[in-house]
């Protein structure tokens, strides 16, 4: 599956727009990450536990995005975007969305 943040696929023509597709995941923090983040905030630096959590969440959201596009018979997803939001204290959502398209062969 081709997915891109651009509105077109280079060197390919879009034959049909199949619709908006998305994939999302809500991830929560755990006590270990919170403790390490608290200590790190004192001395500064990257919060690696949170970085890993968000990287994993983005991967899951992307996999779900692609799966939804495949159900529609898409060859590609254009205009892909990612958003994050706080759902509750200690939990965040990552959503990936874009437009599923069929490419001319």
C-alpha dihedral, 60 to 65 to 66 to 67, nearest 10°: 90
- Can you tell me the mean pLDDT for 5-18? 97
Q: Which helix (H) or strand (E) holds 15?
A: strand 14-28
C-alpha dihedral, 85 to 77 to 101 to 78, nearest 10°: 80
Q: How far apart (Å, rounded) are the C-alpha atoms in residues 81 and 20?
A: 11
Q: Check if the beta carbon of residue 80 is closer than 8 Å to that of residue 100.
A: no
- Name the β-bridge partners of 94: 25, 84
- Can you tell me the mean pLDDT for 8-14? 96
Please state whether the predicted TM-score (pTM) of the whole model is above 0.85.
no
- Can you tell me the mean pLDDT for 10-19? 97
């Amino acid at each position: 599956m081709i997915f891109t943040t651009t509105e077109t696929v280079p060197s390919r023509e879009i034959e049909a727009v199949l619709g908006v597709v998305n994939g999302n995941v809500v991830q929560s923090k755990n006590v270990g990450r919170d403790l390490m983040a608290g200590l790190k905030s004192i001395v500064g630096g990257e919060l690696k536990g949170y970085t890993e959590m968000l990287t994993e969440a983005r991967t899951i959201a992307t996999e779900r995005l692609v799966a939804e596009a495949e159900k529609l018979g898409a060859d590609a997803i254009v205009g892909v975007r990612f958003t994050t939001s706080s759902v509750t204290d200690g939990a965040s959502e990552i959503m990936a969305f874009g437009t599923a398209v069929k490419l001319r062969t």
